[in-house]
Amino acid sequence: MSSKCQSCGAFHPEEELVKGEVCPTCDGPYFIKNYKAVAAMPLPRVNKCITVIQAQVAENPNSTQLNLALGLCFFKLKQLEKALTFFDKAMIDNFSDPEPYFYASICLLKGKKAFVSVREEIEKIETNLESANSLEPKPIYYYFQAYIKNDYYERKYLNTKVSSKELLETARQSGLTEEDVAEFYELTGVDKPEGM
């Protein structure tokens, strides 16, 4: 059995590759599973990946992994609406990968502070983050939830069951690092609010 590289489209026997491994043909990631796989890619290579993955999605439109990869490529290009479309598709019947939920939540912020978002989008972000944490709890997901509580609810003096401080403490107890915090603000494109 063979598989197609998401960076260049080359075929390689699956038994020779481990997910996340570098493609021997193009030296790019064979499978794009997270943003780190595309973060340092030059834009022409990201566009090549989009072309390759779109062809794979045409053959397998319900693939969580392919839709996630395509969403990550559009996310890299800051085409958040397109990215969100593919993250939403990657969430359908997905019971194991929290990444589409996390990145869909970032797209819903649209590079703006939570404070200026509409309530419907905030609620969707919260639902996505709860889903991500139920699949695989990560400190950065708790931190994102704390950010939403701080910058949307508390800044608007709205009552919530759990405060941003409680969620921030949960994130810290889960192993939150300064790198996680920096990554969150880099991905979202927002400034760190006071109290975070």
Q: What is the mean pLDDT, run by run of 10 residues, along the chain of 196 residues?
A: 69 60 77 89 93 92 94 97 97 94 98 96 98 97 97 93 95 97 96 86
Q: Residue 2 phi/psi, 5° resolution?
A: -125, 165
Scored b (16 or more CB within 10 A) or e, 136-158 reads: eebbbbbbbbbbbbbbbbbbeee
- Which H or E element spans position 83? helix 80-91
Q: Which helix (H) or strand (E) holds 4?
A: strand 2-4
pLDDT computed for residue 6 by the predictor = 80
Q: What is the pLDDT of residue 53?
A: 93
CA gap 107, 85 in Å, rounded? 10
Specify the pLDDT at position 14: 63
Q: What is the pLDDT of residue 2?
A: 42
